[in-house]
C-alpha cells in the first residue's frame, strides 16, 4: 500500500488518467478504434491498461515500455475476452451451463486462465452473467441461460476458476463480472436497446448472479451498454455506487464496456465528453475502455467543477490496488514467463472433449434412434455445419484458431471405427443457393442413417447478433425437406444436430426427424465429442438451461412464470392462453434425454416442518430401466403457494446427479437450507414467511413430470 500511495503522490494528472484508460492493441476489435497507436502513450505513462493483445512476446514488450521506459514504471494491466477458453476452446457458456456441474464450470475457467496467463494476459472479461429469457438476443450464447439461481452457481464457479486461490499467481486472471446488469431484457431482444423492467425482476432475476460473483471475490465488474429505465448503466450511481459498492461491498475495479462512456452522449444524458466522463466517474467507473473520455474529458470536467481530484484519486487507487493484487508490481513479466508443458495442452483437449460431450442436449430420441447401431455402417452426413471446424468456435474465440478445431466430419471419421461416412454439405449456412441439394438427396439413396448438421453460423449469435426470427437460416429447411423425404422413402432414420448460440425455432424440424440434438457451439473438440455421443461411448447428459420456444410470439417463455388469476384452461375461453399456440415451450428448461431410461419414485422430504435456520433433506429413488448406463440429473424446484407477493410457479433450488447401469437403482439426496426459501417481500426486503411450500422433484421444469412433496415453514 505504501508503494501505491507514494506513486500516487508522484503522479501528474495525465499519468493518473492514464491509469484510468484502457485501449485496444488491435488484436480483436468489437467497436470503433478510437485511441489509436498506444506505444508512445505507454512510454509517457498516459495509457495504463490494454486489451486485445496476446502472446508473451508482444505482452512483455509492451510491459517493458511501461515498466522500464515510463517515468513511474507502473505495469500495464492487459485483458482479453476469454469467454470459454483461450486457445483451447470449450463449449460456449450457454452450452456449458447445460452440464449442470459447478466443478466443470470452475475447471474450464481454471484451464482457460492457465492458457491465457501463459500468453501474458492478466484479466479476462468474463464471466458474463446476464440472464436471458429472450433467444432473439444474440448474447444469450454468452450467458447462463434463463435461471437466476443457476446463474449464481456459474458466477461463483467461474470467479473461483479464473482467479484461482492466489490472484498474484502466474496462472491467475482477474475475472470481470459482466454486464452489470439486466442487459438480457433488452426490448424486443434487440442488441443495445433500452431496458425497462420492474425493481422486483431486477432484484430477483438480474442481480443475484452479480451478488454471487462479488461474494466469491470477483475483482472487477463491467457495466452493460444499456440503460435501465432511463439511466445508462455506465452512469448508474444508484446501482454501481450504492448497490454494488455500498450494499454488496464490492471494492474492486469497475471497467467500462467498449466506448460506453462516450456513448453516454448518444444515450442523451451528456452533452459532451467532459460531461460523459464526469457522469461515469461519479457512478464509480474506474477504467474507461476505448472511448478516451477520461483522458480528454476529465481535465475539462475538473476545470468546470464537474468532478474533483479526490474522485479521480479514488479510482486510481483502485486500479493500482488491483495491479498490486495481481502481482504486477512484484513481477510484471510473471505471466507468460514459462511456456506451458505440451502435456498440459493434450490434457486440456481431453477435458474439452469430455465437457463438450456433456454439454450436448438430446432433445428427442424416438424409438431409441440413438446411439447408432453397429449395423448402420454407412452414415450420411449432410448439412452446412458438418464440415465446419471454424464454426465450432462460436461467437467468441479469443485466441482459438479455426485450424485447431475438429468438425463433425473429421470427428466421426476418426472415432466411429468400421463406419463409412459419406458427406454432402447440401447448402451453405446462409444464402439462396440450392444447387447442392440434389447431391445430398442422391447420397440418401446409399446410406443406413442420415445425420443432418444444421444451425446458425458462429457469428449469428453473440454480440450485435440479435435475430427477430431465430430459425434455421438460408436454404436449410429446403435441404431438410428434400433429404428427409429421400431418407424416409427408404426407411432410413434421420438424426438432426443443431448448432446455435440460442434456442432456435425448430418445431417443424423436430416433427420431421427421429432424433434431435442441441450442440450449441462445442469448441475445439466438437466433432470428437459428437462422435462419442452418436456412437454411444458417452450417453448424453446435458440439460437445456433455457426453454426452447415453439414460436417467436411466445417469447419470453421461461419456466419460472408467475401465476395468473386465470390459469390456462382449455375449456374456459377467459383464461390465460393463446388461441393459436400452446403456452408451454417446445422443450422446457432442464429437458434433456440420455440413453438410459429413468424412473423416479418415493420422494421424501424431512423434516415436515422447518425453521429458517434448519435444512430440509430431500431424497428420491431413481432406477435405470433402460439398456445403457447413463447419468440422470434430478432437479429440485419449490413453489410457495400462499405468500405476501405472488411467487413463481416453479423456482429452481437445487439439483443432484446419479449415474446408473442398466437395471441399477439408487437414491439422489439434495439438501436445501430453509433460508433459501426466503424471498423479497412487498417492500423488496427478504422475508421468511410461515406456511406450506411445495417441493417438486424431477427431470425437467414441467409440473406434470415432477413428484410433489411438501414442507411447512415455521418461524
Ligand atoms: C464489448 C462487449 O460488450 C464486452 O462484453 C467485451 O468485453 C468488450 N467489447 C471488449 O471486447
pLDDT digits (tens, 9 = 90+) for 502-536: 999 999 999 999 999 999 999 999 999 999 999 99
pLDDT digits (tens, 9 = 90+) for 10-47: 999 999 999 999 998 765 444 444 445 678 899 999 99
Question: What average pLDDT does the chain have?
Answer: 96
Report the alpha-carbon distance of residue 217 to residue 215 in Å, rounded: 5
Which residue of 49, 123, 463 sits with most ligand 1 atoms within 8 Å of its CB, as the best mutation to test the pocket? Answer: 463
Give the closest residue (by CA) to ligand 1 atom 10: 258
Pick the atom of ligand 1 nearest to 176's CA. Answer: 7
Nearest CA-CA partner of 476 in 431, 439, 513: 431
pLDDT digits (tens, 9 = 90+) for 656-707: 999 999 999 999 999 999 999 999 999 999 999 999 999 999 999 999 999 9
Pick the atom of ligand 1 nearest to 52's CA. Answer: 11
Is 702 designated active site?
no
Give the closest residue (by CA) to ligand 1 atom 1: 258
| From 134, 257, 514, 584, the catalytic residue | 257
Q: For residue 367, is it left (φ>0), alpha (ψ between -120 and 50) or beta? A: left
Does residue 607 have a cis peptide bond before it, meaning omega lies within 30 degrees of 0?
A: yes
For residue 586, is pLDDT > 90? yes
For residue 62, is pLDDT > 50? yes
Pick the atom of ligand 1 nearest to 142's CA. Answer: 5
At 29 the pLDDT is 45
Distance 30 CA to ligand 1 centre (A): 7
Burial group, residue 218, by CB count within 10 angstroms (0-12, 13-18, 19+)? buried
All residues at 6 or more sequence positions from 436 whose CB lies less than 8 Å from its CB, including other chains: 424, 425, 426, 427
Distance 214 CA to ligand 1 centre (A): 20
Distance 634 CA to ligand 1 centre (A): 35
CA distances from 454 to 36, 339, 352, 461, 477 (A): 40, 38, 22, 15, 9
pLDDT digits (tens, 9 = 90+) for 76-125: 999 999 999 999 999 999 999 999 999 999 999 999 999 999 999 999 99
The whole-number average pLDDT for the span 294-323 is 98
Nearest CA-CA partner of 621 in 669, 672, 673: 669
At 27 the pLDDT is 52
Give the closest residue (by CA) to ligand 1 atom 8: 258
Distance 255 CA to ligand 1 centre (A): 10
Nearest CA-CA partner of 87 in 354, 402, 347, 530: 402
pLDDT digits (tens, 9 = 90+) for 149-181: 999 999 999 999 999 999 999 999 999 999 999
Give the closest residue (by CA) to ligand 1 atom 3: 257
Distance 547 CA to ligand 1 centre (A): 26
For residue 337, is pLDDT > 80? yes
pLDDT digits (tens, 9 = 90+) for 608-633: 999 999 999 999 999 999 999 999 99
Pocket of ligand 1 (CB under 6 A): 30, 51, 81, 125, 178, 257-258, 463
The whole-number average pLDDT for the span 472-480 is 98
Pick the atom of ligand 1 nearest to 126's CA. Answer: 7
Pairing mode of beta strands 227-228, 123-124? unpaired
Amino acid at each position: 500500500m505504501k508503494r501505491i500511495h507514494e506513486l500516487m503522490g508522484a503522479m501528474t494528472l495525465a499519468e493518473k488518467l492514464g491509469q484510468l484508460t484502457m485501449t485496444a492493441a488491435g488484436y480483436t476489435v468489437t467497436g470503433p478504434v478510437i485511441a489509436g497507436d498506444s506505444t508512445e502513450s505507454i512510454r509517457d505513462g498516459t495509457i495504463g491498461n490494454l486489451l486485445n493483445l496476446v502472446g508473451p512476446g508482444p505482452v512483455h514488450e509492451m510491459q517493458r515500455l511501461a515498466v522500464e521506459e515510463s517515468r513511474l514504471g507502473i505495469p500495464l494491466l492487459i485483458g482479453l475476452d476469454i469467454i470459454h477458453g483461450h486457445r483451447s476452446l470449450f463449449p460456449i457458456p450457454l452450452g456449458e451451463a447445460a452440464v449442470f456441474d459447478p466443478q466443470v464450470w470452475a475447471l474450464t475457467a481454471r484451464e482457460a486462465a492457465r492458457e491465457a496467463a501463459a500468453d501474458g494476459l492478466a484479466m479476462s472479461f468474463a464471466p458474463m452473467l446476464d440472464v436471458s429469457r429472450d433467444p432473439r438476443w444474440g448474447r444469450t450464447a454468452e450467458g447462463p441461460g434463463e435461471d437466476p439461481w443457476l446463474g449464481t452457481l456459474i458466477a461463483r464457479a467461474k470467479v473461483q476458476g479464473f482467479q484461482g486461490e492466489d490472484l498474484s499467481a502466474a496462472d491467475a486472471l482477474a475475472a470481470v463480472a459482466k454486464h452489470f446488469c439486466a442487459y438480457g431484457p433488452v426490448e424486443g431482444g434487440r442488441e443495445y436497446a433500452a431496458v425497462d423492467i420492474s425493481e422486483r425482476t431486477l432484484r430477483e432475476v438480474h442481480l443475484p448472479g452479480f451478488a454471487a460473483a462479488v461474494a466469491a471475490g470477483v475483482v472487477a465488474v463491467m457495466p452493460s451498454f444499456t440503460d435501465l429505465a432511463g439511466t445508462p448503466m455506465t452512469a448508474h450511481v444508484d446501482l454501481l455506487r450504492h448497490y454494488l459498492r455500498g450494499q454488496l461491498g464490492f471494492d474492486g475495479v469497475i471497467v467500462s464496456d467498449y466506448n460506453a462512456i462516450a456513448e453516454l452522449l448518444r444515450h442523451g444524458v451528456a452533452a459532451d465528453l467532459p460531461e460523459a466522463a464526469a457522469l461515469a466517474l461519479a457512478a464509480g467507473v474506474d477504467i474507461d475502455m476505448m472511448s478516451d473520455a477520461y483522458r480528454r474529458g476529465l481535465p475539462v470536467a475538473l476545470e468546470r467543477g464537474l468532478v474533483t481530484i479526490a474522485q479521480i484519486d479514488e479510482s486510481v487507487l483502485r486500479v493500482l490496488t488491483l495491479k498490486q493484487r495481481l502481482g504486477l508490481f512484484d513481477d510484471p513479466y510473471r505471466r507468460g514467463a514459462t511456456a506451458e508443458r505440451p502435456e498440459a495442452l493434450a490434457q486440456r483437449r481431453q477435458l474439452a472433449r469430455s465437457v463438450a460431450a456433456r454439454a450436448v442436449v438430446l432433445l428427442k430420441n424416438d424409438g431409441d434412434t440413438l446411439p447408432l447401431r453397429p449395423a448402420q455402417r454407412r452414415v450420411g452426413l449432410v448439412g452446412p455445419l458438418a464440415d465446419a471446424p471454424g464454426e465450432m468456435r462460436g461467437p467468441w474465440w479469443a485466441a482459438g484458431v479455426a485450424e485447431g478445431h475438429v468438425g463433425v466430419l473429421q470427428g466421426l471419421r476418426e472415432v466411429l471405427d468400421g463406419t463409412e461416412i459419406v458427406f454432402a454439405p447440401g447448402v451453405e449456412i446462409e444464402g439462396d443457393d440450392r444447387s447442392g441439394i440434389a447431391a445430398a438427396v442422391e447420397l440418401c439413396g446409399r446410406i443406413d442413417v442420415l445425420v443432418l448438421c444444421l444451425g446458425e453460423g458462429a457469428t449469428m449469435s453473440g454480440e450485435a447478433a440479435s435475430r427477430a426470427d431465430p430459425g434455421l437460416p438460408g436454404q436449410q429447411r429446403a435441404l431438410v425437406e428434400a433429404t428427409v423425404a429421400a431418407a424416409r422413402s427408404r426407411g432410413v432414420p434421420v438424426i438432426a444436430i443443431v448448432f446455435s448460440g440460442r434456442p432456435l425455432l425448430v418445431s417443424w424440424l423436430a416433427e420431421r426427424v427421429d432424433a434431435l440434438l442441441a450442440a450449441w457451439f462445442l469448441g475445439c473438440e466438437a466433432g470428437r465429442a459428437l462422435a462419442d455421443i452418436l456412437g454411444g461411448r458417452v450417453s448424453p447428459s446435458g440439460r437445456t438451461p433455457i426453454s426452447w420456444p415453439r414460436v417467436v410470439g411466445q417469447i419470453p417463455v421461461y419456466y419460472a412464470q408467475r401465476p395468473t388469476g386465470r390459469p390456462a384452461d382449455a375449456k374456459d375461453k377467459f383464461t390465460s392462453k393463446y388461441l393459436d399456440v400452446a403456452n408451454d415451450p417446445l422443450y422446457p428448461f432442464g429437458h434433456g434425454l440420455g440413453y438410459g431410461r429413468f424412473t423416479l419414485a418415493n420422494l421424501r422430504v424431512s423434516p415436515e416442518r422447518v425453521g429458517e435456520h434448519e435444512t430440509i433433506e430431500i431424497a428420491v429413488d431413481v432406477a435405470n430401466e433402460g439398456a445403457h448406463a447413463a447419468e440422470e440429473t434430478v432437479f429440485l424446484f419449490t413453489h410457495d403457494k400462499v405468500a405476501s407477493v405472488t411467487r413463481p410457479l416453479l423456482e429452481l433450488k437445487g439439483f443432484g446427479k446419479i449415474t446408473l447401469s442398466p437395471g441399477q437403482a439408487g437414491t439422489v439426496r439434495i439438501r436445501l437450507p430453509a433460508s433459501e426459501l426466503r424471498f423479497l417481500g412487498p417492500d423488496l426486503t427478504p422475508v421468511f414467511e410461515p406456511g406450506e411450500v411445495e417441493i417438486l422433484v424431477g427431470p425437467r421444469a414441467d409440473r406434470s413430470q415432477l413428484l410433489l412433496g411438501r414442507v411447512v415453514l415455521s418461524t
